[in-house]
């Protein structure tokens, strides 16, 4: 894995830190300002536009608004100035969501432009990525 993929995974980690600490201001700062954004929360329709997306996160990140979760199995795929991360959102109370987070280079860093998460049916979760042989 190269340095650019590590930068993208750091941006992805920042997204999940904002989620787990319920820091709506930090979450808002992670979303792109110069590019179109969209978000699909589990069981919801598509939200389009920064104002709608940030407002949705402010509603989700209130106490009791979202389950406690962690990110696992994150893999970054860089396509020039766009990158996507596929991962699992592991819900502390049980269950997993498959998630995709799309980032763009903007203002000197990686900013998120799209998030989508959906439940994984029992028995369908992929195993963790296999690292290079030592």
Instruction: Give pLDDT, residue 134.
Output: 34
DSSP string of the chain, one letter each residue:
--HHHHHHHHHHHHHHHHHHTT-HHHHHHHB-SSS--EEE-TT---EESHHHHHHHHHHHTSTTSS--EEEEEEEEEEETTEEEEEEEEEETTS-EEEEEEEEEEETTEEEEEEEEEEEPPTT-PPPPPPPPP-
The answer to whether the pTM exceeds 0.85 is: yes
Convert the pLDDT of each residue in 17-72 to its tens digit. 999 999 999 999 999 999 999 999 999 999 999 999 999 999 999 988 788 899 99
Residue 90 has pLDDT above 50, yes or no: yes
Residue 131 has pLDDT above 70, yes or no: no
The CATH number that domain 3-119 falls under is 3.10.450.50
Q: What average pLDDT is seen over the chain?
A: 92
């Amino acid at each position: 894995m190269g340095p650019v993929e590590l930068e993208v995974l750091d941006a992805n980690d920042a997204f999940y830190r904002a989620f787990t600490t319920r820091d709506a201001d930090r979450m808002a700062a992670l979303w792109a300002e110069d590019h179109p954004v969209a978000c699909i929360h589990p069981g919801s329709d598509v939200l389009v536009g920064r104002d709608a997306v940030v407002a949705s996160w402010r509603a989700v990140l209130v106490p009791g608004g979202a389950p406690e979760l962690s990110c696992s199995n994150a893999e970054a795929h860089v396509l020039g100035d766009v990158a996507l991360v596929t991962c699992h959102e592991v819900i502390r109370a049980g269950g997993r969501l498959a998630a995709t987070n799309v980032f763009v280079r903007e203002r000197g860093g990686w900013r998120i432009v799209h998030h989508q998460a959906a439940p994984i049916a029992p028995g369908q979760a992929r195993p963790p990525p296999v690292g290079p042989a030592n």
